[in-house]
């Protein structure tokens, strides 16, 4: 006779939920990678059915009873953390009425469709009314979830992406960046103006050669092709499940420079998923901690490890081999100039690591103001452009290059943007700690050996899964909660001192 | 207020069931086509969870009540047929105890694993005991299903593949083939011995060229690449869902002759799925009628339409274009000799259309005898070899070329084999009726125009889905229930008279 009957039942239920999520994940991957266009309707029906079944399993009356009973059962650390994660999932799922869920889903689909058109025509007016409806509903959602979770409304939305995320902490961290980044940016641009502009490696770069180079880089980083694949999509992503991780990329025959860094970024995500603890597969506590930690893993690989001189020397050799090319454009020093180019630009997804946080801070400000009712949707384009002038010193010539550029708000995601920059800070902090613990990491990377780095991440990040909160993982791994200092030090070192 | 509340609820439930089956179908496709080996365990968990959820949805207590209530509701023809199909699915799902289902599943996995080893070593002794256990359980399964369905035990198993299949009808039809085929076979072999042996087109046949040729042939047959894909697997199959049909094939650089006919066969299956009525997507009545009708559609394309002189002339031109080849081996007459070669051989899946039914009749005899307890598993190899001598005049040199060659019994499928030959007969009967109705079909095929043939199949077979039984569909389409005459006439015409 078990002494944890309620928890046993919950674990069996969440095991099912996890299998259904995994099935949805694979079907979603197929939808983006392979599905013929005519399959869309049938796929939507499959995905919706899986989603409804998950919701029913999670909100069944028995779950609330079992969660209550399980609190009184003798659970060790990981199981107690598992119960906390179950409680969080249950709170999110039960916080909203069925009517509100349906209204949000409809408003989101409508708003996203209108946004595609509005962005293509650079005409915010086309989506304004739909977005106003959507923001009203998201305010309702935030209020209901805040009551269920005992947080502020903004934090209730943030919690869906970054469990336990704190508004006060973000405000403090972002205030520091807001103060520190502009002078750094000025100094970097001034220094860059004195440097020769980078040469562009001349193509074409055959797709087969890029594919081979991508696989070589992924394998070097530690991606296990027995438990994953690399395929092709318009918008690269990392999907699948921990034992079958699906990375996608896009090949451009005219250039390989940004594509290969995209592959490295997604491989960082993939290594995290793959490194989650095998003993807790299929349970909430065994999942990745949240979007901050996930983005820290992709950016640690992309920005910290693979834009380092040691890796760029390796990449320079491998790229020359792959494309049978030679010349000054392929020198490591030229690659360094390419990969550290900084610009005051309009588009977040194309921004460098120095200006990127300013793009995020703008969005964080504006989404909080909209959620609080301090900014009307009609005023968004002006507020956006004013913010861009203030933070980045440029004014978007139209809304397609301004407030229409990102899908996030238009498909209902408010509270997501901060995770990009929190992830960038966490990446710098973790990489610094890894180098302290394993000083041989840069030299190993130069030999194409990522095992010291990935071994450290496995132990200090991946293997902890959701047994601790983001801040606790960082504190245990680095000795400190999340701070901006390592990120700022990294920028100064790379862009001003090296 | 609806007048069919119980049926409405049933239709909503079966819509969910269909979406879950579709999800499983896509995941199964991925598993065979793309999945890395390390993903197997996670995938098995996803598939098992979907299967358990389907079973729970289908056997919930409410279903029995709703099925009873719906009988008293005013349902038109298709909805009444839909109710009958629901009843059948429910009877199959509820006939077996949970213990028996589990025991069958375990015995099946064990027996299949031992069979792989036994076949590789040509040693029946390795699987004998496991198969005896499995056959005992299958007898229990057949008895329980027979009680639920009101059929004989063999028919209860057959019903899982061919709904409503009748043992007496199969016995009559097979008796006719058993009497007629041996003299035809003798005459064909005698005639063939007087003919020159076919020349083998010389390779290599580059995979890209084969892929292009395959896609060209599929498109010509009417395969819609907006609603389906062609991919590569070791064992070709047709999977997916009607709006997203996934055909697979295998390319051998040393030969294209059998590969291209495999593509045509699977395309026949695909056209059936794709032609199912759009108004009844996601309901049991909207599904393909059963394995006899399915095999009739693949064999109609492969054997009737695409081994015809008109199509082989076309294929001869396209293959020469695809491979940049010329010479006597590529002439239509030589292709005809290749594609109508007849042999007394050991292996069913490589058999020609003249001897194939004899392979099936052997298996039909033996599986009935094992199910009835008239043949012990230990006696199978001897009974197999004796049957081969009697029916085909050859003795397998070992059990790998004998009773170990097919997976079917070893993975628990008893009652499946007859559908291959019933399908071949139905194909001949349907093709003959199509030619009567549309005499221009051969000439159109010669021009690469399959629309008259596929149009006739859409109307007379595909569009009827499961609204009628197999025999009713045949009777409506051809004027007669299933008979051996058109098949025998076809063999005589192609192999003795042309």
pLDDT in tens, B54-82: 999 999 999 999 999 999 999 999 999 99
User: Which pLDDT score, from 0 to 100, does residue B348 have?
Assistant: 96
Count the neighbouring beta carbons within 10 Å of the beta carbon of residue B155. 21
Task: Kindly state whether A244 is in contact with chain B, defined as any CB-CB distance less than 8 angstroms.
Answer: yes
Closest listed residue to residue A231, CA positions, set B487, B30, B64:
B30
**What's the whole-model pTM score?**
0.94
List the Cα angle A155/A391/A237 in 5-degree steps. Answer: 60
Query: Residues of A with CB below 8 A from B27's CB?
Result: 23, 26-27
Task: Kindly state whether B407 is in contact with chain A, defined as any CB-CB distance less than 8 angstroms.
Answer: no
Please say which residue of A158, A175, A203 terminates a domain: A158
The ipTM assigned to this model is 0.93
pLDDT confidence band for B155 (50 / 70 / 90): very high
Beta strands B238-241 and B228-232, pairing class: unpaired
Please say which residue of B52, B75, B98 terminates a domain: B75
Query: Residues of B with CB below 8 A from A215's CB?
Result: none
For the cut 70, the answer to whether the pLDDT of residue B366 exceeds it is yes
User: Which pLDDT score, from 0 to 100, does residue B57 have?
Assistant: 95
Helix (H) or strand (E) holding A240: strand A238-241
Q: What is the pLDDT of residues A23-42, one digit of tens each?
A: 999 999 999 999 999 999 99
Same domain, A50 and A114: yes
Same domain, A127 and A184: no
Q: Is B351 inside any structural domain?
A: yes
For the cut 90, the answer to whether the pLDDT of residue B2 exceeds it is no
Same domain, A102 and A251: no
Same domain, A403 and A281: yes
Same domain, B48 and B166: no
Q: Give Cβ neighbours of residue A206 (< 8 Å, ≥ 6 apart).
A: A253, A323
Closest listed residue to residue B263, CA positions, set B304, B227, B296, B232:
B232
Q: Is B353 a catalytic residue?
A: no
Q: What is the pLDDT of residues A317-362, one digit of tens each?
A: 999 999 999 999 999 999 999 999 999 999 999 999 999 999 999 9
Determine whether the interchain pair A37/B226 forms a contact, defined as Cβ–Cβ distance below 8 Å: yes
- CA–CA dist B359, B345 (Å, integer): 9
Task: Kindly state whether A37 is in contact with chain B, defined as any CB-CB distance less than 8 angstroms.
Answer: yes
Select the residue from A17, A18, A19 to test the B interface by mutation, using most B Cβ atoms within 10 A. A19
Determine whether the interchain pair B243/A20 forms a contact, defined as Cβ–Cβ distance below 8 Å: no
Same domain, B45 and B182: no
Query: Residues of A with CB below 8 A from B282's CB?
Result: 45
User: Which pLDDT score, from 0 to 100, does residue B203 have?
Assistant: 87
Q: Is B69 inside any structural domain?
A: yes
pLDDT confidence band for B29 (50 / 70 / 90): very high
Same domain, A140 and A250: no
Q: Is B93 inside any structural domain?
A: no
- CATH code of A459's domain: 1.10.1370.30
Q: What is the pLDDT of residues A264-322, one digit of tens each?
A: 999 999 999 999 999 999 999 999 999 999 999 999 999 999 999 999 999 999 999 99
Same domain, A143 and A183: no
Q: Is B114 inside any structural domain?
A: no
Q: How many CA atoms lie within 13 A of B39 on its CB side?
A: 27
Percent pLDDT > 90 in chain B is 96
User: Which pLDDT score, from 0 to 100, does residue A1 have?
Assistant: 64
Q: How many CA atoms lie within 13 A of A104 on its CB side?
A: 19
Select the residue from B24, B34, B50 to test the A interface by mutation, using most A Cβ atoms within 10 A. B34
Which of the residues in chain A have pLDDT under 70? 1
- The alpha carbon dihedral of A49, A50, A55, A56 has a sign of positive
Query: Residues of B with CB below 8 A from A228's CB?
Result: 36, 38
Q: Are A134 and A105 in contact (CB under 8 A)?
A: no
Q: Is B330 inside any structural domain?
A: yes
Query: Residues of B with CB below 8 A from A287's CB?
Result: none
Helix (H) or strand (E) holding B249: strand B244-249
Q: Give Cβ neighbours of residue A442 (< 8 Å, ≥ 6 apart).
A: A308, A310, A435
Total domain count, chain B: 2
Q: How far does A60 lie from chain B, in Å, by closest CA?
A: 15
Q: Which of B46, B52, B226 is opposite residue A22, by nearest beta carbon?
A: B46
Q: Which of B26, B36, B281 is opposite residue A225, by nearest beta carbon?
A: B36
pLDDT confidence band for B490 (50 / 70 / 90): very high
Task: Kindly state whether A110 is in contact with chain B, defined as any CB-CB distance less than 8 angstroms.
Answer: no
Task: Kindly state whether A32 is in contact with chain B, defined as any CB-CB distance less than 8 angstroms.
Answer: no
Q: Which of B16, B35, B38 is opposite residue A224, by nearest beta carbon?
A: B38
Q: What is the pLDDT of residues B162-184, one digit of tens each?
A: 999 999 999 999 999 999 999 99
Q: Is B110 inside any structural domain?
A: no
pLDDT confidence band for B338 (50 / 70 / 90): very high
Please say which residue of A101, A125, A158 terminates a domain: A158
Q: Give Cβ neighbours of residue B376 (< 8 Å, ≥ 6 apart).
A: B132, B370
Query: Residues of A with CB below 8 A from B38's CB?
Result: 224, 226-228, 243-244
Dihedral of the alpha carbons of B463, B466, B469, B472, in degrees to the nearest 10:
-20
Q: How far does A166 lie from chain B, in Å, by closest CA?
A: 34
Same domain, A195 and A230: yes
Q: Is B450 inside any structural domain?
A: yes
Q: What is the pLDDT of residues B91-137, one digit of tens each?
A: 999 999 988 998 998 898 899 999 999 999 999 999 999 999 999 99
Task: Kindly state whether B12 is in contact with chain A, defined as any CB-CB distance less than 8 angstroms.
Answer: no
Q: Could you list the residue range(s) of the whole structural domain that residue B62 is in? A: 1-75
Same domain, A218 and A280: yes
- CA–CA dist B41, B7 (Å, integer): 38
Same domain, A392 and A339: yes
- CA–CA dist B291, B165 (Å, integer): 10
Same domain, A116 and A246: no
User: Which pLDDT score, from 0 to 100, does residue B1 have?
Assistant: 64
Chain Cα centroid distance, residue A184: 25
Residues of A with catalytic roles: 266
């Amino acid at each position: 006779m078990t002494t944890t009957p309620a928890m046993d039942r919950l674990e069996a239920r969440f095991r099912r939920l996890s299998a259904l999520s995994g099935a949805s994940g694979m079907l979603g991957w197929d939808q983006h990678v392979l599905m013929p266009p005519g399959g869309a309707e049938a796929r939507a029906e499959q995905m919706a059915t899986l989603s409804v079944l998950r919701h029913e399993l999670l909100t069944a009356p028995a779950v609330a009873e079992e969660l209550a009973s399980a609190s009184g059962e003798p659970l060790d650390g990981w199981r107690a953390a598992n119960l906390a994660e179950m409680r969080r999932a249950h709170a999110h799922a039960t916080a909203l009425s069925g009517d509100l869920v349906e209204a949000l889903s409809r408003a989101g689909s409508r708003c996203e469709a209108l946004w595609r058109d509005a962005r293509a025509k650079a005409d915010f007016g086309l989506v304004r009314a739909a977005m106003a409806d959507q923001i009203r509903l998201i305010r309702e959602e935030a209020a209901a979830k805040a009551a269920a979770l005992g947080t502020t409304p903004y934090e209730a939305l943030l919690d869906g992406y970054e469990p336990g995320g704190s508004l006060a902490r973000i405000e403090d961290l972002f205030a520091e960046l807001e103060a520190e980044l502009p002078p750094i940016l000025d100094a970097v641009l001034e220094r860059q103006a004195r440097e020769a502009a980078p040469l562009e490696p001349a193509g074409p770069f055959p797709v087969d050669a890029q594919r081979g180079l991508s696989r070589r880089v992924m394998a070097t980083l530690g991606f296990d092709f027995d438990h994953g694949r690399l395929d092709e999509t318009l918008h690269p992503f990392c999907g699948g499940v921990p034992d079958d991780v699906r990375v996608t990329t896009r090949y451009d025959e005219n250039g390989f420079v940004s594509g290969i860094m995209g592959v490295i970024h997604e491989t960082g995500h993939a290594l995290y998923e793959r490194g989650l603890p095998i003993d807790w597969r299929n349970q909430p506590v065994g999942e990745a901690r949240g979007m901050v930690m996930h983005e820290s893993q992709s950016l640690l690989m992309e920005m910290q490890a693979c834009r380092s001189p040691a890796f760029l020397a390796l990449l320079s050799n491998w790229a020359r081999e792959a494309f049978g090319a030679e010349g000054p454009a392929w020198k490591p020093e030229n690659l360094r100039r390419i990969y550290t180019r900084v610009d005051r630009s309009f588009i977040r997804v194309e921004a460098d690591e120095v200006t990127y946080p300013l793009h995020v801070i703008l969005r964080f400000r504006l989404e909080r103001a909209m959620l609080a009712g301090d900014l009307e949707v009609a005023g968004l384009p002006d507020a956006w452009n004013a913010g861009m002038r203030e933070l980045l010193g440029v004014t978007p010539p139209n809304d397609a290059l301004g407030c229409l550029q990102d899908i996030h708000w238009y498909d209902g995601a408010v509270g997501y943007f901060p995770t990009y920059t929190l992830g960038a800070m966490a990446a710098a902090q973790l990489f610094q700690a890894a180098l302290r613990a394993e000083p041989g990491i840069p030299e190993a990377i130069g030999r194409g050996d990522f095992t010291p780095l990935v071994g450290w991440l496995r132990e200090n990040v991946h293997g902890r899964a959701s047994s601790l909160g983001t801040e606790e993982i960082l504190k245990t791994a680095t000795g400190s909660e999340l701070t901006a200092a390592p990120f700022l030090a990294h920028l100064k070192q790379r862009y001003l001192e090296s």
